[in-house]
Amino acid sequence: MNARLRSRTQEPYGPCPPEEFAGRFDGRTTLSEVLQDARYQGQVIILSGARGSGKTSFIEWVEHEIQNEPKLNGIAIKKTFPDAPGMIFATYVDLLRDLKGYQKFGWFKKALDSPKVKKSIGAVLDALEKASPLAGPAKVGVDAGAAVTRTLLPHETVDYTQLFSSFISALDALSDELTYEDKFLAILLDDVQWSSEPDFRLLKYLIQNPLPAIAFIITFRLEAGTMAMYAELRRELDRYGTEIPLSGMAPDEIKDFADLRYGLSVDDQTAEFLHETIGDPFCLVRCFDLLRRRNLAPSLANAREVLPEAVEPARSIYSELDQPWKDRLNSLCILRPPMSLSLIACMLKEGDIVRLQDELDRSVVFRRLKREEYDFVHSSLREYRREELPGRAAVELHSQAARCFETLRDGFDEWYADLSLAEHLFSGQEYGKALELNLRLGDRLYDLFDYGMALQLTKRAKICAEETNDRGMLAAALHQNGMILQSIYRFPDSLDAYNQSLEIKREIGDLAGEARVLHQIGMVYQLTNRFDEALDLYNQSLEIEREIGNKPGEAISLRTIEALKEEMLKKK
């Protein structure tokens, strides 16, 4: 085995280096053919597959090929959506900042420096920073007090509309410059399944409206929790894009894989056996790594011998670790990537940062992403340990993570720190602390149209209120839950949440809250054409607003009643 292969196989479980990427012959051919047309018309390509199918390795090979193949006349910029719910627009901000500062190719730098492109990228960055929670902490209340000021139907705010138009204008200007130069830009987005709802809507728009000289190449992990999102994406691809599905590797691809990555010669019979029993790249990596470390030839008999360990790679990798490293995996698996070195040190209670970093760099189960950021070498390891953690141990680790984020929060982006703290406080069963934070962040995400995550945080707040017997906050959480459900047209569920909130508001004597809930229920009835019932509820809300002297609320109720009566007349 040559020196390059020996060096590489010391850390075999991460994404494959582009120069060692093997197999996927049909997929590579399809991609090359599509990219040939990228200079003349927009292209969208999705690499889809289950966990362990080699999507990240494939997209990193694509990036390498575009950057190093002069005939393609293009450049590639790759970004990854982190498994960090609620981080809206972060990936797009990062992408545009990279574009703005790009220096490698003179012709591309020239295109970016054109006044139109420069102005457009500046405008979209400004819009992103204003629309995104990443621009600063959320300053919202926790009692859904602004509920009656919301419009009857969900709509894009000025900031959100500006964001879309600014982003498209920037890409449109860049498309014109690239077309003039007879070049193209490939935007590579890894792990799109983790994108937030606003991010995903923007991506769908870009797929529906392809721009000349710009290609989007994305990866998507297929599993039970992502299939609805995939189906939505697939509908767009049927009209506008190309899918390259990644499943098990064919026998000739397995032989290429073994030769290029491990310097091994696999016979036809063994390759066929591995194709039928293993197939996916992560399991194949484990298979060949076991053969190499045990100094076994890649024969059929030896492949059969290591098969039980190869088909469960995460479990078998973990079983080989010594206890200190097992403890480290268990302590860190509850964190979302990327993990900062300071956070890792806090979770592991390690005082010697220099020594810790050296050990992480030499580990076969972690990989460095940036200067002081790490992740598990493969997501399967993290997810395997999460599933195996005893319930009480997981609670204690989440509680410990909450302490770490409280201690280190000045070193993190404020929005990221708040989202992480909200999750760990809740999962650590610190319901008193988790209640207000989850409700507040849920309201903020609702304002940003990330309804799925807003619903999740609001449900957490509801559980926290129930656990702490806080009736007022329970009513607020139910009210907020109803508003989110109303926005996604789940009207029966919305009414159920509102009515539960109304019952509690009356129980605790919260007249102002009762008026707001009555108004919201009226809105749902109006949306479902139950006008008489809506009018009755608006009048009940108006009566309470007058009773408590809430002039702004009274004015809103009067305007709503007037608008409803006009609508009823039109219907007649």
Domains 24-246 and 489-572 share a fold: no
CA nearest neighbour of 340 among 377, 385, 383, 370:
370
**Euclidean distance between CA atoms 356 and 381, whole angstroms:** 20
Give yes or no for residue 115 having a pLDDT over 60.
Answer: yes
DSSP conformation class of 250: P
Residue ranges of the alpha helices (H) in 241-280? Answer: 251-262, 268-277
Is the CB of residue 570 less than 8 Å from the CB of residue 529? no
Is the CB of residue 193 less than 8 Å from the CB of residue 47? no
Give yes or no for residue 170 having a pLDDT over 90.
Answer: no
Say which CATH architecture domain 24-246 belongs to.
3-Layer(aba) Sandwich (3.40)
Summarize pLDDT for 378-405 with one digit per residue, the tens: 999 999 999 999 999 999 999 999 999 9
Summarize pLDDT for 529-572 with one digit per residue, the tens: 999 999 999 999 999 999 999 999 999 999 999 999 999 988 87
A 10 A CB-CB count for 254 gives 27
Q: How far is CA 360 from CA 3, 183, 268, 397, 461, in A?
A: 23, 41, 39, 20, 36
Domain ranges of the chain: 24-246, 251-311, 324-389, 395-472, 489-572
The residue whose two tokens read 């007058």 is: 546
A 10 A CB-CB count for 567 gives 14
How many percent of the chain have pLDDT more than 90? 66
For domain 489-572, the question of CATH label 1.25.40.10 is answered with yes
Model confidence at 148, in pLDDT bands (50, 70, 90)? very low
Give yes or no for residue 146 having a pLDDT over 60.
Answer: no
Summarize pLDDT for 217-273 with one digit per residue, the tens: 999 999 999 999 999 998 888 777 899 999 999 999 999 999 999 989 999 999 999
More confident residue, 148 or 71: 71
Mean pLDDT of all residues in 33-57? 90
What's the mean pLDDT when you consider all of the chain? Answer: 88
Torsion of CA 245, 250, 256, 261, to 10 degrees: 60
**pLDDT score of 96:** 83
Buried b (16+ CB within 10 A) or exposed e, 374-391: bbbbbbbbbbbbeeebee
The residue whose two tokens read 């141990």 is: 393
**pLDDT score of 152:** 34
Mean pLDDT of all residues in 51-80? 90
CA nearest neighbour of 442 among 469, 424, 423:
423
**Euclidean distance between CA atoms 397 and 335, whole angstroms:** 9
The two tokens of residue 299 are 């024969």
Task: Spell out where 92-241 has E strands.
Answer: 184-190, 214-221
